[in-house]
Structure 1
Amino acid sequence: MQRYLTLSELSAKLGNRSRSAIYNDLAVGRLPQPIKLGARIYWPESDVDTHLRNLRDEVA
């Protein structure tokens, strides 16, 4: 089953990055774009994990 992360959960997963740092990462493509459901935004956890793994592989 797909798990969706809130902004606070994403922040914790990324080592407690600030909200502004997360939005900067979104703007430059270091994080996948969120999904808007109603008035809230969520990130599919599998998309975040895949995106971070790909970035790590590019650096290595």
Structure 2
Amino acid sequence: MKLLSFKEVQVILGGRSRSSIYRDIASNTIPQPYKLAGRVFWRDDEIFDFIKSLTHTSSDSLGVKHVQS
């Protein structure tokens, strides 16, 4: 597990703006950050799990069936 800074999360999420990320936090769209020494950080596994869930959600809405190996 690694802690990701705000800027790292912005890059991972495709360059989302600061205000968009805070709006997503408020609406519980993305995982809640951890506050340390006046800064916010995210666990990398939580962010990557969130991104994976988006992939499954978007393909499910298209009627794509997932095959488990």
TM-score, reference length from structure 2: 0.76
Per-residue deviation, 1:58: 1.9
Higher helix content, 1 or 2: 1
Q: Do the aligned partners of 1:7 and 1:41 also contact (CA within 8 Å) in 2?
A: yes
Q: Which has the higher contact order (CA 8 A, sep 6+)?
A: 1
Which stretches in structure 2 are left out of the alignment for 5+ residues?
Answer: 60-69
- 1:31 equivalenced with 2:30 (yes/no): yes
Which stretches in structure 1 are left out of the alignment for 5+ residues?
Answer: none
TM-score, reference length from structure 1: 0.86
Give the percent of matched residue pairs that are identical in Structure 1 and Structure 2. Answer: 34
- 2 CA distance for matches of 1:38 and 1:57? 35
Moved over 3 A (4+): none
- 1 CA distance for matches of 2:53 and 2:11? 20
Per-residue deviation, 1:37: 1.2
